[in-house]
Amino acid sequence: MATGSNIHTWYEGTWHKGDVPIMRAADHGAWLGTTVFDGARYVDGVAPDLEPHMARVNRSAEALMLTPSKTTAEIVGIVQEGLALFPKDAAVYIRPMYWGIEGGHLGILPGDAPAGFCVCLEEIPMAAPDLSVTLTTTQFRRPVLENAVVNAKAGCLYPNNARMLREALSKGYSNALVADAMGNVAETASANIFMVKDGEVFTPIPNGTFLAGITRARHISNLTADGVAVHETVLGFDDFRAADEVFMSGNLMKVTPVTEFDGTHYQVGPMTRRVRELYWDWARSGQ
């Protein structure tokens, strides 16, 4: 089921209107879960960090032992062609995808042939400026590289995220603050996480248990250039309980304020608002 409306899909060399079928029953991705994707955004005529997102989908494919069938430049060109099908003021979610087609050894290992590929563009509005989320803890944790492909944006990782979200919703919260295997904070069930304390910004250090996002890196770069001290460090749940502000970072909505963590309440403060301003100033600058 599509999330948005007004969908265009590039598949097998051409653009199709709508949510078209792309996978066969015996494809490796259909029955063994070898699927990867990435996400970028087109808003008000700009597509921030488009090339890094398209490059990452190829790295994700390789992490699942798939053979990418397109170069980064080719994917960027396909996306730019597809974006011309939308009004300039449309908000579009850009999703390139690969999936395994042939199987190799014992049918389990992906084959060496190029993976299936498509690009799906969905018109999905940006979140309202006053949207915020609440967080709780969850029994489920982020896996490690030894037992999951955490170095990829892979579809097979998301059932675990779904369990986290289901538990959070059952407790009356909208998302979960998630621990890594050591019990330290990693991210939320759907996005990277930042906290603010005494005018400085803190975020969990990438330790191989979560994907350190492209938008996350952009926020760190923008804040640093603005003179804000940003610390990538080990953080516990008590650090977040003592925070002045908390916000999530992800491609879909860029910056999402957090107003509660398990009974600890936060204001949507000046740093959260500044992060959003810095991001869109940078995006619209054409840098």
Q: What is the pLDDT of residue 2?
A: 63
**Residues of the chain falling short of pLDDT 70:** 1-2, 287
Measured distance between the N- and C-terminal CA atoms of the chain, rounded to whole angstroms: 35
Please report the domains of the chain, with CATH numbers, ordered by start residue.
5-123 (3.30.470.10), 133-284 (3.20.10.10)
Nearest-angstrom CA–CA distance, 28 and 83: 30
Q: What is the pLDDT of residue 256?
A: 96
Look up the pTM and report it.
Answer: 0.94
Q: Confirm if 30 and 21 have CB atoms less than 8 A apart.
A: no
Q: What is the pLDDT of residue 130?
A: 84
H or E element that contains 240? helix 237-241
Q: What is the pLDDT of residue 287?
A: 60
Q: Which two tokens stand for residue 247?
A: 């916000």
H or E element that contains 224? helix 214-225
Q: What is the pLDDT of residue 193?
A: 98
Task: Give the side-chain half-sphere CA count within 13 A for 43.
Answer: 18
Q: What is the pLDDT of residue 140?
A: 98
Nearest-angstrom CA–CA distance, 126 and 91: 7
Q: What is the pLDDT of residue 129?
A: 79
Q: What is the pLDDT of residue 135?
A: 98
